A and B are shown apart, each in its own frame.
Chain A
């Protein structure tokens, strides 16, 4: 059984909602759709206050190459274009829409019928993915059309599909593979055509045997696509880890996967690509896992983008009394929410409710130099050193020590017996180093 070599940890899996079929969350009364929902340049709002819009209509247009379109997930009236609190508590611009009915833009095929044959050419596929605002649904929200445009002088050889879902608790990709497998595979075929490759690999951890056999069976109909079962190890869903696990190739430090001829996409993204290309449907909803040990009904919900997180919690049986933290994303990489009124965005893969007892951090003591973080780091970094450099504001040295290679998986933080908030230090360091590099570019 394959896996990646360097580092990695084994957190408790807690896949509580693995058996819960995907349910459709009712459309809320009001949504606030953040204007920028992808990595890269902020998008520009193209609607006005008071305008009545339909679901699927363009709200904000991507302004740069790395930037993406945002569409309305509901039909109704634009109440205001305002700033709403995001996960960190800071304000970000968003379009607030009062929902009125469920009226969709023309040309969007919402029937469950599966359309297998691909009619569009390679250029048209990329154009369509760009138009429909598809971004990586694994959590990093990198615009998908950018991944398909292979830079000059490089050649994509393999498409890797991430069905690993290595984060504890989260099950949305698992459920998608079980319930929408055929559509995902058509999506993968589209991506293969877009990339001009004839080999695709779906990496699935073996804690999802049902998904592995299901996808394996379906793959027989699709030439060139193969399922690779993988050992269970966090963070196997990281691009570079997945490439190492499936193909044995090592992505060089500071480089993108295309350097070794690979492009990695999530299964959720493959489904979104299918819907965009075959059904003309923009990315306006996604499957979100809402789970937690004391939650009444851990579920997988198909949620419209912009729905407040509180709606999801209510649907899953209400906020438990012993709630300590509500985490946006998985428990390893996710961030605690400062308010449950924040909207679901394209990057929200799950909402995890952690009881008070488990949410408390252990008291921080001095580093005991055990080097567990170094052993755990899947990127071969020295988290202890990077955290110290970041703590002492020595960002230039941190850059030399390759802090930007860190993918914030949190394995170091997870293993630290001294309870040191290594991930927080690294996140800040990465942030500051990024600013330093950008400023250098300006001069």
Chain B
């Protein structure tokens, strides 16, 4: 009986030693040499894996940073300039300052402006509604309010306002990763310059119909009249397919285009209230959307 025990112990130990030796050599043979800098860079990233950089995730971004050693082409919109500077310092590179962007929903067709005409009762997703019908208000380009963008957002920065039925983006939470831009089947959401003090001016409409048909469905549709184009002193506004577009790189936020718009489709956000010429006493206070 003792003998059996001894044999068992010896054979097991022998197997153990042999396996250990094999494993050692296998490990040597298939050793993965990874740049330790990848881990350093990855630690500085937000680990949200949002894909805002255009790569598969944060790890892929870190690998790309180490591989190219050039920060001018890739940028993590979520970390912002501070983190990019830290990454650059860790890598011994120069970081490029990028002005922060934000997602902007270019539709103001809420329930008063663009009243509901038909009822959509199929699957509650914009991609479906877009393929099946023009939408409840009849505007073929307007926000459907079924929340494909909400589902896509990893930062809880966008939601559907119950009252207006439109998507709303949070100034604080949005990191401009751009997933909602691709999620929207109607390309309503655009990444625009966040602007100083979150001040932005944009045409809040993407309808390319002519003025009449567009106005039929929505009070605040851009009718392509071109008044804003004439008014703009910086040539920032272009008119194409009956739709005005403000180039945020050229726009200097002078606010001249907003009052001339006959339908009020140009929005300005986070500007102080305009001083009425007739009523000078009105106090200037902070406001949000016009």
A and B from one complex: yes
* Residues of A near any B CB (own CB < 8 A): 83, 85, 88-91, 335-336, 338-339, 360-361, 391, 393, 421, 424-425, 427-428, 431
Contact of B209 among A91, A336, A338 (CB under 8 A): A91
Given the contacts A338-B118, A338-B133, A89 and B138 also touching, CB distance less than 8 Å: yes
Is the CB–CB distance between B121 and A427 below 8 Å?
no
Is the CB–CB distance between B135 and A89 below 8 Å?
yes
Is the CB–CB distance between B134 and A428 below 8 Å?
no
In the complex, whether B213 has a CB less than 8 A from a CB of chain A is: yes
Among A89, A90, A91, A393: residue with most chain B CB under 10 A: A89
Is the CB–CB distance between B132 and A425 below 8 Å?
no
Residues of A within 8 A of B133 (CB): 88-90, 338
B80 to chain A, nearest CB (A): 31
A391–B127 Cα gap in the complex (Å)?
10
A432 to chain B, nearest CB (A): 8
Is the CB–CB distance between B122 and A424 below 8 Å?
yes
B226 to chain A, nearest CB (A): 21
A407 to chain B, nearest CB (A): 17
Is the CB–CB distance between B122 and A338 below 8 Å?
no
Given the contacts A91-B213, A421-B122, A428 and B140 also touching, CB distance less than 8 Å: no
In the complex, whether B155 has a CB less than 8 A from a CB of chain A is: no
A360–B135 Cα gap in the complex (Å)?
18
Residues of A within 8 A of B117 (CB): 338-339
B118 nearest in chain A by CB position: A338
A384 to chain B, nearest CB (A): 14
In the complex, whether B128 has a CB less than 8 A from a CB of chain A is: yes
Is the CB–CB distance between B123 and A391 below 8 Å?
yes
A91–B213 Cα gap in the complex (Å)?
10
Residues of B within 8 A of A421 (CB): 122-123
Given the contacts A338-B117, A421-B122, A427 and B132 also touching, CB distance less than 8 Å: yes
8 smallest CB-CB distances across A and B, nearest first, come from A89-B134, A424-B122, A421-B122, A338-B118, A428-B131, A89-B133, A90-B134, A88-B133
Contact of A424 among B132, B135, B140, B209 (CB under 8 A): B132
Residues of A within 8 A of B140 (CB): 89-91
B121 nearest in chain A by CB position: A361
9 example contacts (A-B, Cβ-Cβ < 8 A) are as follows A85-B134, A88-B133, A89-B133, A89-B134, A90-B133, A335-B132, A338-B117, A339-B118, A428-B132
Contact of B134 among A338, A391, A425 (CB under 8 A): A338
Among A335, A336, A425, A431: residue with most chain B CB under 10 A: A336
B144 to chain A, nearest CB (A): 12
Is the CB–CB distance between B128 and A424 below 8 Å?
yes
A339–B217 Cα gap in the complex (Å)?
13
What string of 1s and 0s marks CB contacts (under 8 Å) between B111-141 and chain A?
A: 0000001100111010110011111001010
Residues of B within 8 A of A338 (CB): 117-118, 133-134, 138
B interface, over-half SS: loop
Is the CB–CB distance between B131 and A427 below 8 Å?
yes
A174 to chain B, nearest CB (A): 30
A434 to chain B, nearest CB (A): 11
Cβ < 8 Å to A, chain B residues 7-29? none
A397–B125 Cα gap in the complex (Å)?
20
A427–B121 Cα gap in the complex (Å)?
15
A391–B125 Cα gap in the complex (Å)?
9
Given the contacts A89-B118, A361-B121, A428 and B138 also touching, CB distance less than 8 Å: no
A233 to chain B, nearest CB (A): 26
B84 to chain A, nearest CB (A): 32
Residues of B within 8 A of A91 (CB): 140, 209, 213
Residues of A within 8 A of B213 (CB): 83, 91
Is the CB–CB distance between B123 and A424 below 8 Å?
yes
A181 to chain B, nearest CB (A): 38
A88–B134 Cα gap in the complex (Å)?
6
A428–B148 Cα gap in the complex (Å)?
15
Residues of A within 8 A of B128 (CB): 424-425, 428
A30–B210 Cα gap in the complex (Å)?
22
A391–B138 Cα gap in the complex (Å)?
24
B134 nearest in chain A by CB position: A89
A219–B121 Cα gap in the complex (Å)?
47
A90–B186 Cα gap in the complex (Å)?
13
A85–B121 Cα gap in the complex (Å)?
20
A338–B116 Cα gap in the complex (Å)?
11
What string of 1s and 0s marks CB contacts (under 8 Å) between B167-189 and chain A?
A: 00000000000000000000000
Cβ < 8 Å to A, chain B residues 187-214? 209, 213
Given the contacts A90-B134, A338-B133, A428 and B127 also touching, CB distance less than 8 Å: yes
Is the CB–CB distance between B121 and A431 below 8 Å?
no
A420 nearest in chain B by CB position: B123
Residues of B within 8 A of A339 (CB): 117-118, 138
Residues of B within 8 A of A428 (CB): 127-128, 131-132
B215 to chain A, nearest CB (A): 15
A338–B132 Cα gap in the complex (Å)?
11
B137 to chain A, nearest CB (A): 9
A361–B138 Cα gap in the complex (Å)?
21
Given the contacts A90-B140, A338-B117, A425 and B123 also touching, CB distance less than 8 Å: yes
A349–B143 Cα gap in the complex (Å)?
33
Cβ < 8 Å to A, chain B residues 84-125? 117-118, 121-123, 125
A337 nearest in chain B by CB position: B118
A393 to chain B, nearest CB (A): 8
B256 to chain A, nearest CB (A): 33
Among B117, B123, B209: residue with most chain A CB under 10 A: B123
What string of 1s and 0s marks CB contacts (under 8 Å) between B203-247 and chain A?
A: 000000100010000000000000000000000000000000000
B209 nearest in chain A by CB position: A91
A90–B128 Cα gap in the complex (Å)?
14
A338–B118 Cα gap in the complex (Å)?
6
Residues of A within 8 A of B131 (CB): 427-428, 431
A354 to chain B, nearest CB (A): 13
Residues of A within 8 A of B135 (CB): 89
What string of 1s and 0s marks CB contacts (under 8 Å) between B24-44 and chain A?
A: 000000000000000000000
A85–B135 Cα gap in the complex (Å)?
12
A328 to chain B, nearest CB (A): 12
A335–B121 Cα gap in the complex (Å)?
12
A90–B142 Cα gap in the complex (Å)?
12
A421–B121 Cα gap in the complex (Å)?
9
A100–B37 Cα gap in the complex (Å)?
81
